[in-house]
């Protein structure tokens, strides 16, 4: 098994998949910490369904899917933010209001145009081994962008995440930082769709952050552990996918969910023993 896996790693397309996938997984996990703490955990799910609808429309119009979807998804992220803040609607409610409509629209567009062909399935479930050098470059640039923003604005993001009213009292432009988080989330969704697909990409945002919250209490520790868990789950999922000939995206989700349940079981056992 080990020899076969080492041979698997000798292929260029596998290396591209591992580099791009691990970068996106780590970025999604870091953003997931903020989104969960602010109760915007479902934004990844909502934006991915909007991205699917946009890619379906691009496919029907014979346009480049990601270039067509990018402005729509980014605009949707800002719109969800605006509606939830200005109209005093909960973030998850605002997300649910647009995500189901977007998914239904995408299915209808697909059914009326090309049907559910291989490219549509790639949008829905991902195609991690079909990544090219451009995908790796986009993942690297996105990672640099997100890491730099976290380094530069870490303290302000921390304050804004835990207490918006206190952040406003300090004179921080809360709307700007919320918009920045929305922009980074939209970019992660767009880039990660190639890896996980629209139906699974939100798991990269939710599971690592939830698991990290079970293991740490400080904001910085949760972020670091979340990124580490995302990487472990990603490589475990790829290993499972290769050895059992399973879809890569679904295997990564199973690895994330399995690690989360394992942590819960271990914590419950520890409480019983103590």
Choice between 147 and 194, residue whose per-residue pLDDT is larger: 147
Segment 5-22 shows an average pLDDT of 78
d(CA 269, CA 271): 5
pTM above 0.75, yes or no: yes
Residue 224: which pLDDT band, with cuts at 50, 70 and 90? very high
Q: Tokens 């767009």 identify what position? A: 190
Question: What is the reported pLDDT for 239?
Answer: 84
Helical spans, DSSP H, in 38-169: 43-61, 65-86, 91-112, 118-125, 133-162, 164-169
What pLDDT sits at residue 5?
A: 65
| Mean pLDDT, the chain, whole residue set | 82
Residues of the chain with pLDDT > 70: what percent?
A: 85
Residue with tokens 């990018």: 70
Q: What is the pLDDT of residues 51-101, one digit of tens each?
A: 888 888 887 888 887 788 888 888 888 877 776 665 555 556 666 667 777
User: By CB neighbour count within 10 A (0-12 exposed, 13-18 middle, 19+ buried), where does 87 fall?
Assistant: exposed
* 40 DSSP assignment: -
Pick the more confident residue, 250 or 226.
Answer: 226
DSSP symbol at 38: T
pLDDT at 209: 93
pLDDT at 139: 84
Total count of domains within the chain: 1
- Which whole number is the average pLDDT over 160-164? 85
CATH of the domain at 66: 1.10.3470.10
Mean pLDDT, residues 155-179: 87
Q: What is the CA radius of gyration of the chain?
A: 19
Tokens of 96: 């649910």
What is the structure's pLDDT at 65?
79
- The yes-or-no verdict on residue 255 having pLDDT over 80 is yes
Evaluate whether 68 touches 55 at the Cβ level (below 8 Å): yes
How far apart, in whole angstroms, are the C-alpha atoms of residue 108 and residue 235?
35
Nearest residue to 43 via CA among 188, 237, 245 = 188
DSSP state of 200: T
pLDDT digits (tens, 9 = 90+) for 232-247: 999 899 888 888 888 8
- Output the pLDDT for position 93: 65
Helix, strand, coil share of the chain (percent; to 5): 85, 0, 15
Neighbours of 90 (CB within 10 A): 11
Q: Which tokens in the block code for residue 232?
A: 């472990």
Extract the tokens encoding 6: 């080492």
pLDDT at 267: 87
The range of the structural domain enclosing residue 223 comes to: 2-273
Q: How confident is the model at residue 256 (pLDDT cuts 50, 70, 90)?
A: very high
Asked if residue 143 has pLDDT above 70, the reply is yes
Q: Specify the residue for token string 């989700």.
A: 253
Burial 198-236 (b: 16+ CB within 10 A, else e): bbbbbbbbbbbbbbbbeeeeebeebbbbbbbbbbbbbbb
CA dihedral 96, 100, 106, 112 (to 10 degrees): -160
pLDDT in tens, 184-209: 998 898 888 877 777 788 888 999 99
**Does 212 have pLDDT greater than 70?**
yes
Q: What percent of the chain has pLDDT over 90?
A: 18
107 pLDDT higher than 80? no
CA 188, 162, 36, 179 torsion: positive or negative? Answer: negative
Query: Which of 21, 89, 2, 4 lies closest to 238 in space, CA to CA?
Result: 21
Q: What confidence category does residue 210 fall into, taking pLDDT thresholds of 50, 70 and 90?
A: very high
Confidence band (pLDDT; 50, 70, 90) for 50?
A: confident
């Amino acid at each position: 098994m080990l020899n076969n896996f080492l041979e698997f790693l000798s292929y260029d397309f596998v290396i591209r998949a591992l580099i791009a996938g691990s970068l996106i997984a780590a970025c999604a996990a870091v953003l997931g910490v903020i989104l969960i703490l602010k109760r915007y955990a479902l934004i990844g799910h909502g934006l991915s369904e909007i991205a699917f609808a946009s890619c379906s429309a691009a496919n029907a119009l014979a346009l480049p899917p990601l270039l067509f979807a990018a402005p729509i998804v980014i605009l949707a992220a800002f719109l969800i933010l605006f509606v939830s803040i200005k109209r005093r609607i909960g973030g998850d409610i605002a997300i649910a209001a647009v995500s189901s409509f977007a998914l239904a629209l995408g299915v209808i567009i697909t059914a009326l145009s090309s049907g559910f062909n291989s490219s549509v399935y790639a949008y829905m479930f991902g195609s991690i081994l079909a990544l090219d050098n451009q995908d790796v470059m986009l993942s690297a640039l996105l990672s640099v962008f997100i890491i730099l923003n976290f380094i530069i604005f870490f303290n302000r993001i921390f304050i804004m995440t835990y207490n918006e009213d206190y952040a406003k009292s300090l004179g921080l432009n809360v709307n700007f930082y919320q918009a920045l988080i929305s922009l980074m989330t939209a970019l992660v969704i767009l880039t990660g769709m190639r890896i996980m697909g629209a139906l699974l990409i939100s798991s990269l945002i939710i599971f690592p952050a939830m698991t990290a919250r079970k293991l740490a209490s400080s904001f910085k520790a949760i972020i670091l552990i979340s990124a580490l868990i995302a990487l472990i789950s990603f490589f475990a999922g790829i290993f499972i996918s290769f050895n059992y000939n399973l879809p890569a995206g679904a295997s990564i989700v199973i690895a994330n969910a399995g690690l989360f349940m394992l942590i819960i079981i271990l914590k419950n056992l520890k409480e019983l023993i103590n």
